[in-house]
Amino acid sequence: MFQNRAVVLFIFLFFSILSFAQNDKKAIPLKNILNLITSQHDVRFNYIEDEIVVYAIVSPNKKWSLEQKIKYLEKQTNLQFKLISQKYYSIYNDEKLDKPLCGFLLDYDTGKPIENALLTIEGTTNTTFTDANGHFKLPKVSSNTIQIQHPGYNAIEINPKELYVVDCPKFKLQAIIQSLDEVITQRYLATGISKKNDGTIQIKPKKFGMLPGLIEPDVLQTMQQVPGIISVDETISNINVRGGTHDQNLFLWNGIRMFQTGHFFGLISAFNSSLAQTISISKNGSSAFFGESVSSLVAISSRTNDIEKTNSSFSSNLISAELYSKIKLSDRANLTLSGRRSLTDVFSSPTYKNYSNRIFQNTEITNLNNNQIVNYKSDVDFYFYDFTIQYQQKIGQKSNLNIDVIAIENSLDFNQSTIDLNKNSKLEQENLGSTIQWKTQWNKNNFTEILGYFSLYDLNSNNKTLESEQVLSQRNKVLDYGLRIKNSNTINNTLTVNTGYQFNETGVTNFDEINLPIFSRTITNVLLSHVGIVEGVYETESKKTFLVAGLRANYFDKFGTLLFEPRLQINQSLTSSIRLEILAEQKSQTLSQIIDLQQDFLGVEKRRWTLANNSTIPVQKSNQVSLGFSFKKRNWLITLDNFYKKIDGITSSSQGFQNQFELERTIGNYQVFGTEFLIQKSFNRFYTWLSYSYNDNKYEFDELTNVNFPNNFEVTHAISWAGIYEWNKVKFALGAKWHTGRPITTPIAFSVIETDPNIVYNSPNNSQLEDYFQVNFSASKNWKVSEKIKLETAVSVLNLLNTKNSINRFYRVNSTDNSVESVDTYSLEMTPNFNIKLSF
Residues 35 and 61 occupy one common structural domain: yes
Neighbours of 516 (CB within 10 A): 10
Residues 323 and 248 occupy one common structural domain: no
- Digit-coded pLDDT (tens) for 372-422: 555 556 667 788 999 999 999 998 878 899 999 999 998 888 776 666 666
The span from the CA of 141 to the CA of 73, in Å, is 20
Q: Can you give the CATH number for the domain in which 29 is found?
A: 3.55.50.30
Residues 188 and 143 occupy one common structural domain: no
pLDDT greater than 50 at residue 12: no
Last residue of a domain, one of 57, 92, 127: 92
The span from the CA of 606 to the CA of 429, in Å, is 12
- Digit-coded pLDDT (tens) for 157-213: 888 888 877 788 899 887 765 444 455 556 788 777 888 888 888 887 777 778 899
Number of domains present in the structure of the chain: 4
* Angular region, 712: left φ>0, alpha ψ -120 to 50, beta rest: alpha
Residues 312 and 169 occupy one common structural domain: no
- Digit-coded pLDDT (tens) for 553-563: 999 999 999 99
Last residue of a domain, one of 41, 73, 92: 92
Long-range contacts of 631-635 (CB under 8 A, 24+ apart): 631/577, 631/578, 632/184, 632/185, 632/577, 633/576, 633/577, 635/681, 635/682, 635/683, 635/687
Q: Is residue 730 part of a domain?
A: yes
Asked whether 506 and 526 are in contact (CB, 8 A), the reply is yes
Instruction: Produce one character per residue of 291-317: b if its CB has 16 or more CB atoms within 10 Å, e if not.
Output: bbbbbbbbbbebbbeebeeeeebebbb
Instruction: Produce one character per residue of 109-137: b if its CB has 16 or more CB atoms within 10 Å, e if not.
Output: eeeebbeebebbbeeeebebebeeebebe
Banded model confidence at residue 11, pLDDT cuts 50, 70, 90: very low
The span from the CA of 33 to the CA of 43, in Å, is 13
Neighbours of 198 (CB within 10 A): 24
Instruction: Produce one character per residue of 715-749: b if its CB has 16 or more CB atoms within 10 Å, e if not.
Output: bbebbbbbebbbeeeebbbbbbbebbbbbbbebee
Q: Which helix (H) or strand (E) holds 127?
A: strand 127-129
Strand partners for 158: 146
Banded model confidence at residue 695, pLDDT cuts 50, 70, 90: very high
- Digit-coded pLDDT (tens) for 327-359: 999 888 999 999 999 988 777 888 888 888 887
Q: Show the domain range for 253.
A: 183-300
Asked whether 97 and 78 are in contact (CB, 8 A), the reply is no
Could you tell me which of 189, 148, 187, 185 has the C-alpha nearest to residue 169? 148
- Digit-coded pLDDT (tens) for 467-511: 667 788 999 999 999 999 999 999 998 999 999 999 999 999 999
Q: Which residues contact 560 (CB under 8 A, 6 or more apart)?
A: none
The span from the CA of 390 to the CA of 436, in Å, is 10
User: Of the spans 26-30, 275-279, 347-351, which averages the highest pLDDT?
Assistant: 347-351
Residues 750 and 766 occupy one common structural domain: yes
Strand partners for 723: 688, 734
Residues of the chain with pLDDT > 90, as a percent, come to: 46
The span from the CA of 635 to the CA of 681, in Å, is 6
Residues 72 and 204 occupy one common structural domain: no
Q: Is residue 611 part of a domain?
A: no
The span from the CA of 168 to the CA of 196, in Å, is 44
Q: Can you give the pLDDT at residue 626?
A: 96
Q: Can you give the pLDDT at residue 373?
A: 53
Could you tell me which of 754, 87, 591, 17 has the C-alpha nearest to residue 334? 17
Q: Can you give the CATH number for the domain in which 292 is found?
A: 2.170.130.10
Q: Is residue 610 part of a domain?
A: no
Banded model confidence at residue 290, pLDDT cuts 50, 70, 90: very high
Q: Is residue 178 part of a domain?
A: no
Q: Is the pLDDT higher at 68 or at 423? A: 68
- CA 696, 699, 700, 705 dihedral sign is negative
Residues 309 and 440 occupy one common structural domain: yes
Banded model confidence at residue 754, pLDDT cuts 50, 70, 90: low
Banded model confidence at residue 25, pLDDT cuts 50, 70, 90: low
* Mean pLDDT confidence for 798-811: 92
Q: Which residues contact 333 (CB under 8 A, 6 or more apart)?
A: 21, 24, 307, 391, 392, 393, 394
Q: Which residues contact 501 (CB under 8 A, 6 or more apart)?
A: 483, 484, 485, 530, 531, 532, 533
Residues of the chain with pLDDT > 70, as a percent, come to: 89
* Mean pLDDT confidence for 420-439: 86
pLDDT greater than 90 at residue 618: yes
* Mean pLDDT confidence for 654-660: 90
Residues 638 and 714 occupy one common structural domain: yes
Residues 687 and 830 occupy one common structural domain: yes
* Angular region, 254: left φ>0, alpha ψ -120 to 50, beta rest: left
Residues 58 and 148 occupy one common structural domain: no
The span from the CA of 544 to the CA of 571, in Å, is 8
- CA 337, 343, 351, 821 dihedral sign is positive
Q: Is residue 705 part of a domain?
A: yes
Neighbours of 290 (CB within 10 A): 20
Asked whether 439 and 448 are in contact (CB, 8 A), the reply is yes
The span from the CA of 413 to the CA of 417, in Å, is 13
Residues 82 and 155 occupy one common structural domain: no
Q: Can you give the CATH number for the domain in which 127 is found?
A: 2.60.40.1120
The pLDDT mean for the chain works out to 85
User: What is the CA angle 279-264-425, rounded to 5?
Assistant: 145
Q: Is the pLDDT higher at 75 or at 406? A: 406
pLDDT greater than 70 at residue 52: yes
Q: Is the pLDDT higher at 802 or at 425? A: 802
Q: Can you give the CATH number for the domain in which 724 is found?
A: 2.40.170.20
Could you tell me which of 346, 240, 236, 272 has the C-alpha nearest to residue 605? 236
- Digit-coded pLDDT (tens) for 564-597: 999 999 999 999 899 999 999 999 999 999 988 7
pLDDT greater than 80 at residue 598: no
Q: What is the per-residue DSSP string for 752-815?
A: --TT--EEEE-STT-EEPPPEEEEEEEEEEEEE-SSS-EEEEEEEEESTT----EEEEEEEEET
Q: Is residue 613 part of a domain?
A: no
How does strand 297-301 pair with strand 250-253?
parallel
Find the Cα–Cα–Cα–Cα dihedral 760, 764, 769, 771, rounded to 10°.
-160
Q: Is residue 225 part of a domain?
A: yes
- pTM for this entry: 0.78
Residues 499 and 593 occupy one common structural domain: yes
Q: Is the pLDDT higher at 761 or at 749? A: 761
* Mean pLDDT confidence for 655-676: 93
Q: Is residue 614 part of a domain?
A: no
Could you tell me which of 696, 698, 692 has the C-alpha nearest to residue 676? 692
